Structure 1
């Protein structure tokens, strides 16, 4: 996706970021869709303290935020690492780079039992194959359970993160009816809405999904029992395009803002210092 021409001085930006215009930062002349959503996600981490990050695009977003707008962010990995300071990009939760220089390494039982379930994680940052209007996630199967079209990795720690993190951010590479269906093919990580509707078990202590960053824009969910609402579109994307790509009647904020385009420096950091092997950038 190429940079969108036009005046940017009046463009509203994602919450927590400063407006980007010609007088403040040079907009990248050429950036990919992946770089766009990673930069939008990183902007939302301004002011966040502890982030339980999944591998993949969440890793890129957290690293970029740490290098640019939030030097004090504390990174937690599922393998038992808290306060990670990776020397290079992590390619998995057990990658040695997440341990080197970390402030603490504990058992997974201690991490989930004391750190996560103890209410010490501000943001859980996840990916997903499907998400519904209330923020439930599917990372298990696409299609029928017995004969799925695609069998996915499953929950990992996502179910626990959904239930116990203060809030959950989701970053997703696609925005279409397959990824945003009216009904999930399988509920791997239930939202507070789904948990309450089941009438079983203990209600989650966390907010659930508060923010979804997609190739078309940003959806927010302020009420733990409410629906996702379109609050931001990416440059060049219309509200109508986002609604048409969503499998339900998507609610829209009274005022829809426009996310900032990636700056030249953000793109340089992503390409030259963070994902130098192009593992996640596409």
Structure 2
């Protein structure tokens, strides 16, 4: 349900900067269903990639083989991403706070961490410069924390006005899509608000899975279940995800 909901966040003909994992699955599901002209851009420099299976990494050869164009990594960032030419960025998170700031660097103190995570990669630039950002992450108190241990990628900083003060071009996170529902930032406070739950999920479940006092919209909706076509394509994609 999380992957399907994330794929529906992408519109046809948009340009999407894609990360590996759930964001890549969702983007490829969108391209194979309702958004055939979705332009997939990967950090390795592939523009217009159209893989027939899920890539194993940003360096998977299937991306270059199927891309409209392959450019250098500096060009992807300096010419396409940072000037604001990418409509939407898909990101994951190890930790996320109420203002949608993302941590993928360390758990615990930076100088003496409990866990050292994969790091930033291109995520800070994606969060800063894409027209909007969609975060795809499973929801639990371990992930949804009061304050992230390290700000790898800025969502809304400490609240209204911080993105502007930091000189960040994009609008920031417009949706956080989890395995329980969908959160969106409040237009005035920038704090994440639960606006939808997936079928079979109760609002209280989302509250229990959040490490802060979760705000809930007055009119929480229920996301539409996956269609048979979406399930068929998703299962086909996942069947090709691992090498034979």
Query: Do they superpose with TM above 0.5?
Result: yes
* Partner Cα separation in structure 2 for residue 224 and residue 207 of structure 1: 14
Indicate if the aligned counterparts of 2:105 and 2:116 stay in contact, CA closer than 8 A: yes
SS in 2 for 1:260: coil
Equivalent positions of 1:102-251 (< 5 A) are 102-173=67-138, 175-194=139-158, 202-221=166-185, 223=187, 226-251=190-215
Indicate if the aligned counterparts of 2:53 and 2:240 stay in contact, CA closer than 8 A: no
Give structure 1 stretches of 5+ with no counterpart: 1-35
SS in 2 for 1:84: coil
Give structure 2 stretches of 5+ with no counterpart: none
Look up the match of 2:54: 89
What do residues 194-237 of structure 1 show as CA deviations (whole Å, max 9, x unaligned)?
A: 4965998x410111111111111000125386111111001111
SS in 2 for 1:275: helix
Indicate if the aligned counterparts of 1:192 and 1:208 stay in contact, CA closer than 8 A: yes
SS in 2 for 1:91: coil
- Look at both structures and tell me which one has the larger radius of gyration over its CA atoms: 1
Look up the match of 1:32: none
Look up the match of 1:61: 26
Indicate if the aligned counterparts of 2:135 and 2:176 stay in contact, CA closer than 8 A: yes
* Partner Cα separation in structure 2 for residue 214 and residue 49 of structure 1: 22
Look up the match of 1:260: 224
* Aligned-pair CA distance for 1:242: 1.0
- Identify the range of structure 1 (261-270 vs 107-116) with the bigger mean alpha-carbon deviation: 261-270
What do residues 31-66 of structure 1 show as CA deviations (whole Å, max 9, x unaligned)?
A: xxxxx1101111111346010000001111011111
- Count matched residues: 241
What do residues 168-200 of structure 1 show as CA deviations (whole Å, max 9, x unaligned)?
A: 111112x12211110111111122434965998
* Partner Cα separation in structure 1 for residue 164 and residue 217 of structure 2: 31
Is 2:43 aligned against 1:78?
A: yes
* Aligned-pair CA distance for 1:88: 2.3
Indicate if the aligned counterparts of 2:55 and 2:241 stay in contact, CA closer than 8 A: no
* Partner Cα separation in structure 2 for residue 85 and residue 124 of structure 1: 17
* Partner Cα separation in structure 1 for residue 112 and residue 61 of structure 2: 37
What do residues 152-175 of structure 1 show as CA deviations (whole Å, max 9, x unaligned)?
A: 1000000000000011111112x1
Q: CA RMSD in A?
A: 2.0
